[in-house]
Chains A and B, each alone.
Chain A
Amino acid sequence: MIKYDENPANLSETRQYEDLSMAIVYKIREGSKAGRLYQKDEIYLELMGEDIQEGDDERRKAFEEALKRAIEEHSDIKEVPGAGGALFYYSEEYMGEPYVRLLLQKQGDPLLLIAETVRDNSASYPRPIPLNMFKNPPFDFSEEEIIECLRQMETKDLFRDIARTVTSAGTVFLYSTSHLTPDYASMLAEWFDVGQFENP
């Protein structure tokens, strides 16, 4: 995987970027690999060491131009608007559209994020998903947050299709009644939580 196109003796710890535009590309790609969407301000702060509001006009202008070039010249670099209209940047080489969607949903309404994720899973795989899944990245909810979300969801019509089933091991799974019957969801949950380990 690692391609040594140069003699390592020639590689140095000190890395210089050809120009600001390449530095931006590099930063966005590294962010995507690690599951991070970058906002313009964040890139500016990390590369220029100052807040975009406080930076002087000339530096800001150079940055804007470099960012524009980064997008034009590197087809993997994408710009996407978030819930509040702010722009986010990622490399589609390292971050797929489904993950980007999750990250954007997360910045919006957490209830919708959970509901949409549950619906997606119930519709396409199909399967219920364990509550604990929402503790993983990119969701990163705490137990309390998940419980609070579910409590709120119960009160809203929009989430009437989100149902839960509990396995014999006591694990809670969520599913959407628009896509799975209670019987089927409970059988699948039992299979994922208990059955598959009895059939290793």
Chain B
Amino acid sequence: MDTQKDGYETTEKGLGSLLEARFMSRRDFLKLSGISVIALTALNPFIARGGAGPLIIMEQAKGLVISEPTRCVGCRRCELACTEYNDGKAKPSIARIKVGRNMNFGPKGLYASQNGQGNWGNGLIIQDLCKQCPHPVPCADACPNDAIVVSPPTNARVVDKEKCIGCKMCQKACPWEMMVFDSDNNKATKCFLCKGSPKCVEACPAGALSYVNWVDLTREVPPRIAQVVVTSPEKGSSCNTCHKKR
């Protein structure tokens, strides 16, 4: 029988050939056309400008996780991959992709009853995903401590744990309820696109998730809650830099 170590080696062997073939195939013959890689390391979204407060325009995200709900089989392996591989614990309540909350009765919950979605309705399970919002980024704008920042190379909007003070203002600001709060460390967290290899996408046994070029879905996906626009006064003043009052 294989020992544990051998087991891992055989994983590589077991999966290896096809992984490699795919990997190679991309590099081999998918010539990238048009877009070049932009170096973003030096980019700081909060560049002071003219003393009128920080500029709150964030660099656009590069990637986005999207879903195809008809493919979802409700196993929640995406939520588990998100938290186990990133946080070292199985904790769907802090998963940055949300399936469980729509699984039984759909996004409208019990108020749609058996006429709704989910396992108890028409079977359709909706995945809630971070839109990596374009400006204005509700969660980032709501943060009194500027803890939600752009992180290259994906330009995902991420929570800087050092800066987060656990006030939950961001949770109120996201219309899609995609900000989660980890009671274990009293910090907010959100989808950070796993440095460009989203664990949820890799984990889906039904291929319901894809990682794609960023597109603006903020106008496509209906909000889950009425949006509370929360902007700190300092940031509010910087809005005026661009949006001049008449």
Q: Say if the two chains contact directly (CB < 8 Å).
A: yes
Report which A residues bind B (CB closer than 8 A): 1-12, 14-18, 22-23, 25-26, 29, 76, 93
Known A-B contacts: A7-B154, A8-B196. Give 19 more (CB < 8 A): A2-B201, A2-B202, A3-B23, A4-B196, A6-B32, A8-B211, A9-B35, A9-B63, A9-B213, A11-B32, A14-B33, A15-B33, A17-B29, A18-B29, A22-B28, A25-B28, A26-B25, A26-B29, A76-B21
Contact A16 B33 (CB under 8 A): yes
Interchain nearest-CB distance for B59 vs A (Å): 11
**A11 and B213 in contact, given A3-B23, A4-B196 (Cβ under 8 angstroms):** yes
- How many A-B residue pairs have C-beta atoms within 8 angstroms? Tell me: 79
Interchain nearest-CB distance for B234 vs A (Å): 31
B23 in complex: contacting residue of A5, A7, A17, A26, CB < 8 Å: A5
Alpha-carbon gap, A93 to B19, bound state (A): 11
Number of interface residues of B (CB under 8 A): 33
Q: Return the 7 tightest CB-CB contacts between A and B, nearest first.
A: A9-B62, A22-B29, A16-B31, A4-B197, A8-B63, A14-B33, A17-B29
- Mostly, the A contact residues are loop
22 A-B residue pairings within 8 Å (CB atoms): A1-B15, A1-B19, A1-B22, A2-B22, A3-B22, A4-B198, A7-B37, A7-B62, A8-B196, A9-B154, A10-B32, A10-B36, A11-B30, A11-B32, A12-B32, A12-B33, A12-B35, A17-B31, A26-B25, A29-B21, A93-B17, A93-B18
Contact B18 A29 (CB under 8 A): no
B243 at the interface (CB under 8 A from A): no
Contact B196 A12 (CB under 8 A): no
